[in-house]
Amino acid sequence: MSTPMPSPPITSVTRQLSRRSVFEALLHRSPISRADLAKVTSLSKQTMSEVIDAFEQQGLVRAVGRTSGNVGRTAVLYELSPDGGHVLGIDLGARRLTVALADIAGRVLAEATNPPTARRSLDARPDCPTLGPSGA
């Protein structure tokens, strides 16, 4: 008789969803304060503080200024840190190859496009094995 595998705790799934929601809001609405992030994502201010603190420790967000002109205390404004990570995109088309490198905020840092070289079949490449029926 086998014992069923325990399911992951709901809190970890909820935490992941909260972080994703905050990341998406930062990506599309930066710069933004914690209070405004809480409103946009419908998360509590406590949860927002925990997520932002975790993102700061991981280098994913940075403070970029403070609000001004409002009544009351000023709030710190946050945005995704360009140094927080990078994304590599590859578009392998029929007529060209395009490669792009972007920072975590989606800003393209480098891009290169190359036209294709003459088409070669697998038979023309000695370093590629020939595919054939199995067992042949």
Judgement on whether residues 91 and 38 belong to the same structural domain of the protein: no
- As a whole number of angstroms, the distance between CA 48 and CA 22 comes to 8
Q: How many residues does the chain have?
A: 136
In a domain, 136, yes or no: no
Between the alpha carbon of residue 37 and those of residues 7, 41, 59, 83, 84, the distances in Å are: 30, 6, 18, 21, 19
Which CATH number fits the domain that encloses residue 35?
1.10.10.10
What are the tens digits of pLDDT across the range 2-39? 666 665 555 688 888 999 999 999 999 989 999 999 99
Are 91 and 78 in a shared domain? no
Residue 88 CA to its chain's centroid (Å): 11
pLDDT, tens only, 76-127: 999 999 999 999 999 988 888 999 999 988 899 999 998 766 554 444 455 5
Give 87's contacts (C-beta < 8 A, 6+ positions apart). Answer: 101, 102, 103, 104, 106
Which range of residues forms the domain containing residue 102?
86-124
pLDDT score recorded for residue 41: 95
Does residue 99 share a domain with residue 75?
no
Residues 77 and 19 reside in one and the same domain: yes
